[in-house]
Amino acid sequence: MKINRHVESKLMAWKNSDNRKPIILRGARQVGKTFIVESFSKTFKNFISLNLERPRERELFKNYNTGNELFEKILLYKGISVEEKDTLLFIDEIQNSADAIAALRFLYEDLDSLRVIAAGSLLEVFSKQEGFSFPVGRTKNLFMFPVNFQEYLGVKNPPLHKKLCELDVTQRTEFHQILMDHFYDYAYVGGMPEALKIYLETRSYSNMREVYDSIYMGYLEDVEKYTSLAKAKYLSHTVDHAPLYAGERITYEKFGDSAFKSREIKEAFDTLERALIVYRARPTTSLRLPIMEKLRKAPKLFFLDTGLVNFRIGFKDFFKNRESMSNFYQGRIAEQITAQEIISLEYEAPSLNFWIKDKGEAEIDFLFPFKDKLIPIEVKNGSVGKLKSLFIFMERCDHPYAVRVYSGENRIDRLQLPSGKSFYLHSLPYYYLPRLHDVLENLTNMN
> Does the pLDDT value for residue 317 go beyond 90?
no
On whether both 132 and 198 belong to a single domain, the answer is no
Using CA atoms, how far residue 51 sits from 34, 90, 408, in Å, is 10, 8, 47
Assess if residue 155 is contained within a domain: no
- Average pLDDT (200-216) is 87
Query: Mean pLDDT across the stretch 271-286?
Result: 95
Torsion-angle region of residue 37: left (phi > 0), alpha (psi -120 to 50) or beta?
alpha
Which pLDDT band holds residue 119 (cuts at 50, 70, 90)?
A: very high
Q: Which domain holds residue 17?
A: 7-143
Same domain (yes/no): 186, 138: no
Q: How many CB atoms lie within 10 A of CB 230?
A: 7
Q: What is the DSSP letter of 293?
A: B
Judgement on whether residues 330 and 390 belong to the same structural domain of the protein: yes
**Last residue of one domain, picked from the residues 143, 174, 197:** 143
Residue 434 counted as domain residue: yes
Residue 306 Cα distances to 32, 98, 242, angstroms? 16, 33, 12
Q: 28 phi and psi, to 5 degrees?
A: -65, 165
Q: What is the pLDDT of residue 324?
A: 55
Q: Is residue 200 part of a domain?
A: yes
Same domain flag for 314 and 213? yes
* 213 belongs to a structural domain: yes
Whether 439 maps to a domain, the answer reads: yes
Handedness of CA 327, 333, 339, 344 (dihedral sign): negative
Helix H or strand E segment including 415:
strand 411-416
SS3 107: helix
E strand or H helix at 48: strand 46-51
Query: Do 244 and 117 fall within a single domain?
Result: no
Residues 93 and 212 in one domain: no
Q: Which residues pair with 119 in a beta bridge?
A: 25
User: Is 216 within the bounds of a domain?
Assistant: yes
Residue-wise pLDDT for 134-191, tens only, equals 777 889 999 999 999 999 999 999 999 999 999 999 999 999 999 999 999 999 899 9
Reply yes or no on whether the pLDDT at 378 is more than 90.
yes
| Percent of residues in the chain assigned helix, strand, coil, to nearest 5 | 45, 15, 35
Q: Report residue 268's pLDDT band, with 50, 70 and 90 as the boundaries.
A: very high
The verdict on whether omega for the bond into residue 290 sits within 30 degrees of 0, i.e. cis, is yes
Q: Verify that 137 and 194 share a domain, yes or no.
A: no
pLDDT computed for residue 129 by the predictor: 65
- Residue 153 covered by a domain: no
pLDDT at 99: 94
What lies within 8 Å, CB to CB, of 135 at 6+ separation is: 101, 102, 104, 105, 108
Q: Mark which of 143, 164, 194 sits at the end of a domain.
A: 143
Q: pLDDT tens, 227-267? A: 776 688 999 999 999 999 999 999 999 999 999 999 999 99
User: Is the dihedral angle over the CA atoms 419, 421, 427, 428 positive or is it negative?
Assistant: negative
106 in the same domain as 31:
yes
Q: Does position 423 have pLDDT exceeding 80, yes or no? A: yes
Q: Domain boundary residue among 83, 113, 143?
A: 143
Q: Are residues 294 and 344 in the same domain?
A: yes
Work out the mean pLDDT of the chain and round it to a whole number: 91
Is the pLDDT at 408 greater than 80? The verdict is: yes
Contacts of 439 (CB under 8 A, 6+ apart): 169, 403, 426, 428, 432
CATH of the domain at 60: 3.40.50.300
Rounded Cα distance, 70 and 60, in Å: 7
Q: For 141, what's the count of Cα atoms within 13 Å in the CB-facing half-sphere?
A: 14
Q: Which residue has the higher pLDDT, 316 or 298?
A: 298
- Residue 218 and residue 267 in one domain: yes
- Give the three-state DSSP class for 441: helix
Query: Could you tell me if residue 254 is left (phi over 0), alpha (psi between -120 and 50 degrees) or otherwise beta?
Result: left
Residue 326 confidence (pLDDT): 57
Query: Could you tell me if 125 and 205 lie in one domain?
Result: no
Is the pLDDT at 442 greater than 90, yes or no?
yes
The Cα 331–Cα 416 span in angstroms is: 27
User: What digits encode the pLDDT tens for the residues 29-66?
Assistant: 899 999 999 999 999 999 999 999 999 999 999 999 99
The answer to whether position 167 is within a domain reads no
- pLDDT (0 to 100) of residue 318: 53
191, 307 Cβ separation under 8 angstroms: yes
* Phi–psi pair at 346, nearest 5 degrees: -110, 160
Same domain, 130 and 227: no
In the chain, the number of structural domains is 2
> Distance between CA atoms of 45 and 425, rounded to whole angstroms?
50
